[in-house]
């Protein structure tokens, strides 16, 4: 059956991508009672399977759900839909919705030859069934940016990381690595504690007035000054701006200093290990050195290594539905010559606020 496609300069493969929903449902139709969710992504979408399963566990698959997220770029959302799950970030359909959608999907997409992508067609047909997007920021890494994505990764939400997309569009996320080896290194941490990957904990060194941000499994960053938590959580604009509307984002951001020596000192994850005895997880981060002049007494550049201690993050359904950021604190360290800092991550006390205590 020839399907119409009228988006000038587009790719008719969008129809094939859209119809993968229909074909997948048909493929598993004989075992429909065993299938709870249908999850779709592109060939350059990377999923964290355990986080995907835990995220979907919050929802009742017998109800109609269309779950995903949009782009980080305002212009992309304005063009294709603020309420559309972008296919690159991946999206999920509950089996109850997918089974009904598949029944008349071909006739539905025939009404939308003017749309660009397969995800736009799926979105349009889901809307016709009266279902809107359930936004899950764990799918959010659409990566419609280029260059250094450190700022986006280190400001990941308190929801589990579900997917990453367009990895080839950004610089390798670890120094002295290729894109492939960098993500393989990242997944060495994912294997130990998948739900904690990129989860941000912030604590303070009162003595030096340092602000310390732990993006678990990826980086530790130390600002040599005090920043309020709401300012820490603003995404650092480390990537290359595209200009125009492509430089208008869907999140709060802050500029980085043009001089690398005035930026936070960054320590990248070296390795992660787990103690089989007490379940303590130790992650080690080494400084990415810059050729900077600094005060050997008060500058965080004097540190060579950060050791972070935590336990496996295992939230229950209630915590998954209403996540709370965890707290961290600087631990006493001995016999390191002032070159090593140790940090503990833990659940915050009920009435604990994250700020620099006097």
- Domain annotation covers residue 114: yes
Q: Which residues of the chain register pLDDT less than 70?
A: 1, 30-32, 141-144, 241-246, 335
- Domain annotation covers residue 49: yes
Verify that 16 and 156 share a domain, yes or no: yes
pLDDT value of position 271 = 97
- Domain annotation covers residue 267: yes
Verify that 199 and 65 share a domain, yes or no: no
pLDDT value of position 142 = 58
Q: Residue 23 is part of which domain span?
A: 1-172
pLDDT value of position 3 = 87
- Domain annotation covers residue 188: no
pLDDT value of position 200 = 98
CA distance 196 to 200: 9
Question: Which of 143, 172, 201 is where one domain is finished?
Answer: 172
Verify that 15 and 110 share a domain, yes or no: yes
pLDDT value of position 95 = 95
CA distance 328 to 212: 9
- Domain annotation covers residue 146: yes
Number of domains, the chain:
2
We report the CATH number of the domain holding residue 24 as: 3.90.550
Verify that 152 and 11 share a domain, yes or no: yes
Cα–Cα separations (whole angstroms), residue 288 to 172, 175, 255, 301, 303: 14, 8, 20, 10, 11
Verify that 143 and 197 share a domain, yes or no: no
pLDDT value of position 126 = 98
pTM of the model: 0.93
pLDDT value of position 163 = 95
pLDDT value of position 31 = 64
273 with 247: CB under 8 angstroms?
Answer: no
- Domain annotation covers residue 279: yes
């Amino acid at each position: 059956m020839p399907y119409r496609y009228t988006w000038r300069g587009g790719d008719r493969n969008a129809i094939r991508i859209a119809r993968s929903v229909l074909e997948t449902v048909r493929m598993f139709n004989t075992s429909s009672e065993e299938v709870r969710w249908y999850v779709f992504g592109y060939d350059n979408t990377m999923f964290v399977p355990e986080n995907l399963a835990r995220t979907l566990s919050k929802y009742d698959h017998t109800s109609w759900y269309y779950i995903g997220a949009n782009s980080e770029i305002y212009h992309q959302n304005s063009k294709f839909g603020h309420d559309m799950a972008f296919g690159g970030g991946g999206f999920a359909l509950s089996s109850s919705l997918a089974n009904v959608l598949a029944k008349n999907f071909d006739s539905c997409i025939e009404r939308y030859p003017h749309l660009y992508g397969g995800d736009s067609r799926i979105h349009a047909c889901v809307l016709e069934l009266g279902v809107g997007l359930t936004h899950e920021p764990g799918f959010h890494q659409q990566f419609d940016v280029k260059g250094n994505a450190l700022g986006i990764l280190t400001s990941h939400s308190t929801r589990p990381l579900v997917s990453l997309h367009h990895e080839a569009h950004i610089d390798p996320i670890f120094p002295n690595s290729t894109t492939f080896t960098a993500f393989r290194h990242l997944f060495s941490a994912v294997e130990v504690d998948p739900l904690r990957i990129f989860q941000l904990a912030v604590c303070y060194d009162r003595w030096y007035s340092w602000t310390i941000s732990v993006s678990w499994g990826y980086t530790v960053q130390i600002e040599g000054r005090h920043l309020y938590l709401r300012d820490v959580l603003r995404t650092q604009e480390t990537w290359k701006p595209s200009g125009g509307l492509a430089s208008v984002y869907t999140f709060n951001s802050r500029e980085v200093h043009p001089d690398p020596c005035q930026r936070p000192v960054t320590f990248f994850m070296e390795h992660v290990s787990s103690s089989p005895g007490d379940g303590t997880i130790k992650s080690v981060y080494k400084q990415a050195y810059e050729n900077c002049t600094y005060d050997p007494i008060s500058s965080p550049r004097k540190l060579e290594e950060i050791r972070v201690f935590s336990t496996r993050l295992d939230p229950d359904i209630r915590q998954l539905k209403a996540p709370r950021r965890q707290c961290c604190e600087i631990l006493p360290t001995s016999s390191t010559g002032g070159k090593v800092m140790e940090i503990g991550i833990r659940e915050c006390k009920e009435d604990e606020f994250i700020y620099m205590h006097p």
